[in-house]
Amino acid sequence: MNCVGIFDSGLGGLTVWQAIKQLEPDLPCLYLADHAHLPYGPRGQDEILRLARQITRQLLAHGAGLIVIACNTASAAALDTLRDEFPATPFVGMEPAVKPAALHTRSGVVGLMATRGTLEGRLLRQTAQRFAGHVEIVSSECPGLAEAIENGVDDAALMPQLHTHTAQMRARGADTIVLGCTHYPLIQPQLGQLLGPQVRLLDPAPAVARQALRLWQAHGFLLPARTTDRFASTGSASRLQAMLERHFKRRADVESWVWQNGELCSDSPPTAA
Ligand code: DGL
């Protein structure tokens, strides 16, 4: 096995990729941004499962030994099923950090920013019931926010949106806000400016990175002598390249992968696993 396969609907999952690289720079990654289907948030669970299944197959064909679903929406729709369908493959999924938020809150009110797909998912309901029964969770499905981040809207356009998305949680006195979509850590500075230093923002990416590294080691996968990460997009490769540079100061070639009749095809030959 030669890499960790990571995917999201777009650039959001790169916040998880970054957490992985901060933890273990030598862990080789293959990142796919499914820009052709962004946003995932409003899509049905069946459709996301179909996409996630195809993406998983393609990442495995390219040598992934471990799959990180760096997308809360796709984790909600597909994680359980993919684990059943690919029993030999370890998966790490995103789960909104409701449990640590419930432990941390002093006001007893937790804000949750996530997509509709995540908010409607069973994973979140179960976690909230199990670990956060004693706190009030005020959620917002933040329509259009992931797209605004993808489009790199400026603060003049972004701040009014954030004002609206957080209005109810601010009014209820939330002191802890869960970033339940992997795109949202990219706007932490703007959220911090709006909410003030007394409100804590929780991003599960570091915990997900730790779990990915644990599983990589537990399966006996090795770290290569020389690591080259690969990046691919099903939309515009040059756009993902520009985003990598802008948000992560990373210069890299980006491959174009394409959807054809419901199947995902890459422009580079699969590697033997
Ligand atoms: N980044 C994805 C997530 O974590 C969602 C963005 C989208 O709606 O495509 O849920």
Say how far apart CA 54 and CA 50 lie, in whole Å.
6
* 37 CA: nearest ligand 1 atom: 9
Q: Which residues contact 125 (CB under 8 A, 6 or more apart)?
A: none
Instruction: Dump pLDDT digits (tens) for 246-261.
Output: 999 999 999 999 999 9
CA gap 170, 177 in Å, rounded: 10
pLDDT number for residue 223: 87
Tokens of 264: 């995902």
Torsion sign across C-alpha atoms 273, 91, 202, 8:
positive
Q: Is residue 9 within 8 Å of residue 69, measured between CB atoms? A: no
Q: Which atom of ligand 1 is nearest to the CA of 9?
A: 9
Confidence check: pLDDT of 1 > 90? no
Q: Are 142 and 162 in contact (CB under 8 A)?
A: no
Ligand 1: does its nearest atom lie under 6 Å from the Cβ of 75?
no
In the sheet where 136-140 sits, what is the strand order? 136-140, 109-113, 176-179, 200-202
Chain segment 183-196, per-residue pLDDT in tens: 999 999 999 999 99
β-pairing, 200-202 with 136-140?
unpaired
Cβ of 121 below 6 Å from ligand 1: no
9 close to ligand 1 (CB < 6 Angstrom): yes
pTM, entire model:
0.96
The pLDDT tens digits for 190-246 are 999 999 999 999 999 999 999 999 999 999 998 888 878 999 999 999 999 999 999
Q: How far, in whole angstroms, is CA 180 from its chain's centroid?
A: 9
CA dist., res. 14 & res. 70, Å (int): 8
- Whether residue 53 contacts residue 27, with contact meaning beta carbons closer than 8 Å, is answered with no
Environment class of 238 (CB within 10 Å of its CB; exposed 0-12, middle 13-18, buried 19+): exposed
**Contact between residue 190 and residue 214 where contact means Cβ atoms under 8 Å apart:** no
